[in-house]
Chains A and B, each alone.
Chain A
């Protein structure tokens, strides 16, 4: 394996009874980069992460992490990786500081070193004020940060982040993104699983899309968006009397006037391929003195990505109420 590759999965297979969780999944994480593994619940993301973090043995295929085979040299792998699970795995009855201290001591740090590392991480993750409170009093976002801090205690070369922002509100999500970027700046390689194209786009250098245990696309965020199509411009005038004018404005700027859609009464959407469209629309709206309650430019949702890639529109794919993965 090339020294520039931090993680390599090659044809990973894993079944749980009748369910094929992974059916020959391959991908690579280049050293110092972020690979986003994008897929819906049950796609096999968590299973892949658990195999790479040596918690699960694959039925077939092989995986190398930091140059070591996960089944032949699991201990060498464990020395070099940090794992942050989908469900924050910190001890709720210990304080934040005690959690980090315990991990440090288990990594054979001297007590003094473990203490200073804990202090450093608590400061970095903005948990200093809550350091001596039991983790069960923490909010969801704080718990995630503590979990992430715990997995960084031993300065791992590679960090696995399994859906680090699922269930967090948007503001907390962006805080988490900043943290992930900071981790990579320090030279760490990151494998991130997510259900949000937006998140993979914001963080990942490369994106692997998996569904039913198979890789269905592997590309940069840029190319993936190009394949999937464009961004979607959404607009909703305050006054329903303006709907015709709005429709006309959108038809004028959009690449394909025929695709202006009114999914709900008074709400328009149109696929656009050019980032300069938003200012153009805004100036036209201003000139016509039309007030709007909503104006947004959004990436296609995971649902739309899947629709394009697989041709199957599956509304249940991204059902927020089912958060269980096959392997959990």
Chain B
């Protein structure tokens, strides 16, 4: 492209922020309607977390913490992290399907902001995250888990988990836009998420891991989220639990990294691909 052409591209008035918000909301509404129509697409944020909670607590509870009840504070917070990560594959698959079916061609031929379809999908995914955390906490409550801090710390934890989910989802969104089939999306996302969830403090204390793994596990973004949730939700027991600022700060840093790295790549991929 010539210099003159580039100049004219930048001279085009960009979409106002109100347009971006309005179009994103219209497209988020589309996601919600579709979710509502196919409730089975919510299994990974409803029945799966319940299954994980039951399985993990009865299998690992005795071995790791001596009893199921003592394991619950460790487990519920860990599972919130794990399930948020696993549920993020859904948005990647959804974008891949939209691309394959030509719906993105339709959106790209409309005079709307080119980020709106991605923001819309991310916004629509919020409902899944809320549902997931609700199901997790309810299951935990029934099994005997109690939040040991006050309402503000509790809500802060919920907000942090939701924010983390939204920021993390740009990764699967990028993969959804690059992969050539929905099956590939699933394979790639899970291949990255498994080490991320299990090589972390989500289910076991990292102290018993070999040094190299422990280094990874302690720096793992998911470990920071889980530590933050433990500090914010669980009954204070000792100095470490009382300090929530450090893990929350680290979690926020990771959220920023996810968005800064993956969002521009995803937007670029969306603009280039059919």
Contacts and interface: CB of A to CB of B under 8 A. Distances in A.
Interface of A: 50, 53-56, 69, 71-73, 75-76, 78-79, 81-83, 85, 87-94, 98, 102-103, 105-108, 134, 150-151, 327-328
Nearest to B35: A93
A226 to B, nearest CB: 37
A91 B105 contact: no
Contacts of B29: 102
The interface residues of chain A, by DSSP majority, are classed as loop
Interface stretch (B19-27, B131-139, B247-255): B19-27
B267 to A, nearest CB: 15
B240 interface: no
Contact of A93 (B19, B27, B37, B112): B37
Contacts of A92: 101
B191 interface: no
A75 B111 CA distance: 6
Contacts of B183: none
B242 interface: no
B12 A107 contact: no
Contacts of A54: 108-109
B111 A89 contact: no
B120 to A, nearest CB: 10
A89 B110 contact: no
A71 B2 CA distance: 11
Interface string B1-21: 100010011001000000100
B12 A75 contact: yes
Given A73-B12, A93-B33, 20 more contacts: A50-B274, A55-B105, A55-B108, A56-B274, A75-B12, A78-B111, A83-B106, A87-B102, A93-B37, A94-B33, A94-B34, A102-B26, A102-B29, A102-B30, A105-B22, A106-B26, A106-B116, A108-B22, A151-B106, A327-B274
A78 B109 contact: yes
A92 B107 CA distance: 15
A161 B237 CA distance: 68
A93 B38 contact: yes
B127 interface: no
Contacts of A79: 111
Contacts of B107: 106
A74 B180 CA distance: 27
A141 B55 CA distance: 50
Given A87-B102, A89-B103, A72 B111 contact: no
A134 B38 CA distance: 12
Nearest to B8: A72
A54 B102 CA distance: 15
The interface residues of chain B, by DSSP majority, are classed as helix
Contacts of B38: 93
Interface in B88-116: 101-103, 105-112, 116
A83 B109 contact: yes
A71 B4 CA distance: 12
A63 to B, nearest CB: 13
Interface string B26-64: 110110011001100000000000000000000000000
B40 to A, nearest CB: 12
Contacts of B33: 93-94, 98
Contacts of A83: 105-106, 109
A106 B274 contact: no
23 contacts: A54-B109, A56-B274, A69-B8, A71-B1, A72-B8, A73-B12, A78-B111, A81-B109, A82-B109, A83-B106, A87-B102, A89-B101, A89-B103, A89-B105, A89-B106, A91-B103, A93-B34, A93-B37, A94-B30, A102-B26, A102-B27, A134-B37, A328-B274
B102 A85 contact: yes
B5 A71 contact: yes
Contacts of B103: 89-91
A82 B9 CA distance: 22
Contacts of A71: 1, 5, 9
